[in-house]
Amino acid sequence: MVVSVEVKILENRRFTISTLSNDFPEVSRSVLYKIASEKLNFKKLCSRWVPKLLTEDHRNKRFECSLNFLTRYNEEGDVMVSRIVTGDETWVSYVTPESKQQSMEWRHTHSPVGVKAKQTLSQRKIMASVFWDRHGVLLVDFMQRGTTKMW
């Protein structure tokens, strides 16, 4: 049974347990799930994580870089991994709301009650660049909209 399920999975890697249960109606869905996940060690992988639009040159370059990393790791061990620094950047929306203490006013007891407008998030955004290594964050840099920075 395990072998026949594996053959069916390898025909279509985007299988679901429902499609497998259509192919094997005599086997329960929970048993099919256990066969796929525990016996055959298949894991779900989101298709967004798989590069789809890479050219052959890009794929070869990625393969070459990966092979280079593996070779260096084999030769140098954890020392090589300690020297890898990576980074990412993202836009962060921000607003500086007024605290309750800052919004307090002195009023007479007979003064009319003030109406406070609902605060909405502003469209202010800032670019956050974060660099880290295997031990943690090394640098967080914020850059205002409309400015550029060369690293």
Q: Is residue 10 part of a domain?
A: yes
Q: Within this chain, do residues 35 and 88 fall inside the same structural domain, yes or no?
A: no
pLDDT, tens digit, 9 for 90 and up, residues 97-112: 666 676 677 777 777 7
Are the beta carbons of 34 and 20 closer than 8 angstroms? no
Q: Does 145 score more than 90 pLDDT?
A: no
Q: Tell me if residue 35 falls in helix, strand or coil.
A: helix
Q: Angle CA(118)–CA(122)–CA(123) in degrees, nearest 5?
A: 150
Which residue range is the domain that position 131 belongs to? 84-103+120-150
The structure's pTM equals 0.41
Tokens describing residue 126: 């800032």
Q: Does 29 score more than 80 pLDDT?
A: yes
Q: Is residue 113 part of a domain?
A: no
Residue-averaged pLDDT of the chain: 82
In angstroms, how far apart are the furthest CA atoms of the chain? 83
Q: Does 138 score more than 70 pLDDT?
A: yes
Q: Within this chain, do residues 95 and 127 fall inside the same structural domain, yes or no?
A: yes
Query: Phi, psi (5° rounding) for residue 28?
Result: -70, 160
- DSSP 8-state assignment for residue 113: P
Q: Within this chain, do residues 78 and 33 fall inside the same structural domain, yes or no?
A: no
Q: Within this chain, do residues 68 and 58 fall inside the same structural domain, yes or no?
A: yes
Average of per-residue pLDDT across 131-150:
82
Average of per-residue pLDDT across 75-89:
88
- 87: closest CA among 121, 123, 129? 129
- 5: closest CA among 60, 49, 42, 55? 42
Give the model's pLDDT for residue 63. Answer: 92
Q: Does 115 score more than 90 pLDDT?
A: no
Q: Does 51 score more than 80 pLDDT?
A: no
